[in-house]
Amino acid sequence: MKLLIADDEGPARARLHGLVEEIGGIEVVAEAGNGRQALLLCDELHPDIILLDIRMPGMDGLEAARHMAGLEPAPAVIFTTAYSEHALAAFDAHAIDYLLKPVRKARLAQALVKAQRLTSAQMNAVTEAAQGGQRQRTHISARRGGRIELVEVTDVAYFQAGDKYVSVHHGGGELLIDEPLKSLEEEFSQRFLRVHRGILAARDLIIGLEKDPQGHYYVMLKDQQRLPVSRRHVSELRALVRAGRIRT
Amino acid sequence: MHLHDFVPASLRRFQRLWPAPSTRGGHCFSQSETHNSKPATGPRAAKLSPVSTDNHGRPPLQPDARAARVNTRNGSPTMIVPNEHRAEELYLPDFCNVRMVLAMVVGAELLAYLLSLSATRGGESRWDGLIMTSLFVQWVALASIAVLCACRRLMEGWRDMTTTLYSFGLVLAVTVVVSEAAYWGGAYLDMFPVRQGWHGEFLIRNLTISAIVTTVALRYFYVQFQLKKNIQAEAHARIQALQARVRPHFLFNSMNTIASLTRSDPALAEEVVEDLADLFRVNLADARTRVPLGEELALTRRYLHIEQLRLGERLTVEEDTAGVPQDAAIPMLTIQPLVENAVYHGIEPLPEGGAIRLQARQDRDGNIVITVANPRPAAEVIRRPGNRLALDNVRQRLGAHFGNRAKLTLDDAQGRYVATVTLPYEKAVS
């Protein structure tokens, strides 16, 4: 059995490592200092179980677990935390196991035996419950060529719905994800605006609204890209123009 | 505010509400009887029973414009609770509870006794009077309890004033029904002579007594409820104050660090325990103490020592405090909470960590100026739930010791977050 330890504190990792070795029968394949690193290591090393701290900088444990649920094979997740955060009530509600730090050896051994995989739906529900209805990820993840790719949400210019997938256009290129535009719109409504039936554009990047001689509307992004605007979304953009947020 | 303001609204509401209570009451009363010689008592008793119900006649607060909706909530009664304090919880006790019913029966009986004592006139047997009065009062009391018990769910979430008026109306309705039943039942059974014009008097007396008793009872329930709520609020505030001083996260993370070091480096673990003990000693001590600046800085260093073990390379500390008089008096726990805030909000959310800069100097006017600076994570990094309590506490302490001669200012610019404490130089008495 392979195990990964993710915690942003060195002493915490060292202790868990020691305890797991004492329990025996399990190989610690790596240690990660934040959620992003944990996710990438998971993708690379395919551990069976991950001990995942909830509070970590960059990408926290809850979000990392959401991305991990999409891995193939997905690891079983055991959350660890030093203090009862809101998340714990949500875990209890969804029968997800967690360990309180400092972790007791017997408790850890028990958790390792019954560790379970978490589904995306489960993690979405738990995250939402734990964060008061909010479940904004900091990263978008997709699999390409058997490996996971991560794009920071702040780096995304727009999402565009295609035939089968949604393509994520970001600073470094394009990524295909298998998520409906609708759920992306709900999750990131503060950051992205629906400008077209199939397009969500980053609010911060929209700098102007244009109309061509044929009467079609377009939004201009900071990087000079032009995105089509559907008729029904023109009024919302006009309101932004009036508010002085963008120009025509 | 003013009773008259909202009376019309409440009346309107009552018009809609009346029918229900009276019908319900009707069932209950059908058998009650009053005794002829003392009709007056009966009615009074009736009022009593309402005991169970209403609250008091505190002037209602706000007229409710949406009076027409049965479900609207009223402003809470003015007495103890300020306006903004809208009671969500029903202040009435649970009348469906057996103990409550027993208490009501006893209360009603006491009232019946009181009424028959005061009503006894020469000639008539005191006991007869008491029996009939008790019968009447108990009927009204039990019927009122039953109605209020049945309506409890309906009243959940109402404003106190709505509940009050509603309960008051219900009890009066019950009184009317029981009185009528007693009057006509009594006449039918020939227990007392039906006199001309006496019917109205009987009803009005009963209603008056009922109204007074109900008012007193509701008032009592309300005050008792507020008292209970205040006690709870106070206990809650104390716990919060304690938590503000000791961040649970820090405590448990430190414990975890100690658990880890105990295996790898017992000597270091020992040091951490000592540092932690010092921190807690100070945190649990009387917060009004002034200490020399040197001591506060030493405490801050102990705190940082623990955090550095925990966060490793992610936390760098730049300290420049040598040039300041170490004997300057400073309220205990002024600098350490600011540094703790800096670690919590400025370092922990950053994967790569950062540096905290702690400076102390003396300005041209001789004042002591202490600054704590930390990197400010971009807005993208999820902001942690704030702990303004820590800052408020520091402000309070400075204010308590130095009045407006000391201040805490916060500056949030150029990617740095800087907290500055300025205080006059006074030597600490050690």
Shortest alpha-carbon distance between residue B44 and chain A (Å) = 53
Q: Which domain holds residue A50?
A: 2-130
B237 pLDDT above the threshold of 80: no
Residue B6 pLDDT grade (very low, low, confident, very high; cuts 50, 70, 90):
very low
Interface contact A35, partner B, CB < 8 A: no
Domains: count for chain A: 2
A192 and A116 share one domain: no
**Burial track B380-408 (b if 16+ CB lie within 10 A, e otherwise):** eebeeeebeebbebbbebbeebbeeebeb
Interface contact A173, partner B, CB < 8 A: no
Q: What is the pLDDT of residue B275?
A: 94
Average pLDDT over residues B375-387: 65
Query: Is position A248 within any domain?
Result: no
Note whether A15 contacts B263, CB cutoff 8 Å: yes
Shortest alpha-carbon distance between residue B91 and chain A (Å) = 29
Indicate the pairing of strand A49-53 with strand A98-100: unpaired
Residue B362 pLDDT grade (very low, low, confident, very high; cuts 50, 70, 90):
very high
Residues B81-98: pLDDT tens digits? 333 344 457 888 888 888
**pLDDT greater at residue A61 or residue B284:** A61
Secondary structure of residue B207 in the 3-state scheme: helix
> How far is residue B317's CA from residue A13's CA, in Å, rounded to a whole number?
23
Q: What is the pLDDT of residue B211?
A: 93
Chain A partners within 8 Å of B259 (Cβ): 15, 102
Percent of chain B whose pLDDT exceeds 70? 70
Q: What is the pLDDT of residue B418?
A: 94
Note whether B257 contacts A14, CB cutoff 8 Å: no
Token pair for A197? 């039936």
Average pLDDT over residues B179-187: 82
Average pLDDT over residues B41-50: 39
Q: What is the pLDDT of residue B73?
A: 38
**Last residue of a domain, which of A96, A115, A130?**
A130
Any idea which of A55-64, A134-143, B204-213, B293-302 has the lowest mean pLDDT?
Answer: A134-143
Q: What is the pLDDT of residue A182?
A: 92
Query: Is position A207 within any domain?
Result: yes
Indicate the pairing of strand A226-229 with strand A217-221: antiparallel
Chain B partners within 8 Å of A82 (Cβ): 249, 252-253, 255-256
Q: From the candidates A13, A15, A40, which should be mutated to test the interface with B, based on the most B CB atoms within 10 A?
A: A15
Average pLDDT over residues B37-55: 39
Mean pLDDT by 10 residues, chain A (248 residues): 95 95 94 95 95 91 91 91 81 86 94 87 82 81 87 93 92 90 90 93 90 90 90 87 74
A229 and A167 share one domain: yes
A124 and A174 share one domain: no
ipTM higher than threshold 0.85: no
**pLDDT greater at residue B20 or residue B195:** B195
Token pair for A175? 């990524």
B23 pLDDT above the threshold of 70: no
Note whether A154 contacts B382, CB cutoff 8 Å: no
Interface contact A11, partner B, CB < 8 A: yes
Interface contact A171, partner B, CB < 8 A: no
Using CB atoms, pick whichever of B256, B350, B351 lies closest to residue A101.
B256
**pLDDT greater at residue B205 or residue B384:** B205
> How far is residue A215's CA from residue A225's CA, in Å, rounded to a whole number?
19
Indicate the pairing of strand A192-196 with strand A147-152: unpaired
Any idea which of B47-56, B104-113, B118-127 has the lowest mean pLDDT?
Answer: B47-56
Interface contact B241, partner A, CB < 8 A: no
Q: What is the pLDDT of residue B313?
A: 92
Q: What is the pLDDT of residue B12?
A: 41
A20 and A123 share one domain: yes
B230 pLDDT above the threshold of 80: yes
Q: What is the pLDDT of residue B48?
A: 39
Specify whether the CB–CB gap between A175 and A168 falls below 8 A: yes
Residue B102 pLDDT grade (very low, low, confident, very high; cuts 50, 70, 90):
very high
A208 and A164 share one domain: yes
The residues spanned by each domain of chain B are: 3-233, 248-423
What CATH number is given to the structural domain containing A167? 2.40.50.1020
Q: What is the pLDDT of residue A127?
A: 83
A158 and A124 share one domain: no
Shortest alpha-carbon distance between residue A62 and chain B (Å) = 13
Note whether A33 contacts B249, CB cutoff 8 Å: no
Pick the CATH number of B248-423 from 3.40.50.180, 3.60.20.10, 3.40.50.880, 3.30.565.10: 3.30.565.10
**How much helix, strand and coil, in percent to the nearest 5, is found in chain B?**
60, 10, 30
Chain A partners within 8 Å of B253 (Cβ): 9, 12, 82-83, 101
**pLDDT greater at residue B45 or residue A75:** A75
B4 pLDDT above the threshold of 50: no
Residue B28 pLDDT grade (very low, low, confident, very high; cuts 50, 70, 90):
very low
Residue B180 pLDDT grade (very low, low, confident, very high; cuts 50, 70, 90):
confident
A169 and A222 share one domain: yes
Interface contact B409, partner A, CB < 8 A: no
Specify whether the CB–CB gap between B136 and B32 falls below 8 A: yes
B46 pLDDT above the threshold of 50: no
Using CB atoms, pick whichever of A9, A58, A154 lies closest to residue B351.
A58
- The per-residue DSSP string of chain A comes to -EEEEE-S-HHHHHHHHHHHHHH-S-EEEEEESSHHHHHHHHHHH--SEEEEES--SSS-HHHHHHHHTTSSSPPEEEEEESS--HHHHHHHHTT--EEESSPPHHHHHHHHHH--B--HHHHHHHHHHHTTT----SEEEEEETTEEEEEEGGGEEEEEE-SSSEEEEETTEEEEE-S-HHHHHHHTTTTEEEEETTEEEEGGGEEEEEE-TTS-EEEEETTS-EEEE-HHHHHHHHHHHHTTSSB-
Any idea which of A234-238, B74-78, B143-147, B308-312 has the lowest mean pLDDT?
Answer: B74-78
Interface contact B335, partner A, CB < 8 A: no
Q: Which residues pair with B358 in a beta bridge?
A: B319, B372
Residue B190 pLDDT grade (very low, low, confident, very high; cuts 50, 70, 90):
low
Average pLDDT over residues B224-250: 75
The CA distances from residue B110 to A227, B138, B163, in Å, are: 82, 10, 26
Residue A180, Cβ density class (10 Å: 0-12 exposed, 13-18 middle, ≥19 buried): exposed
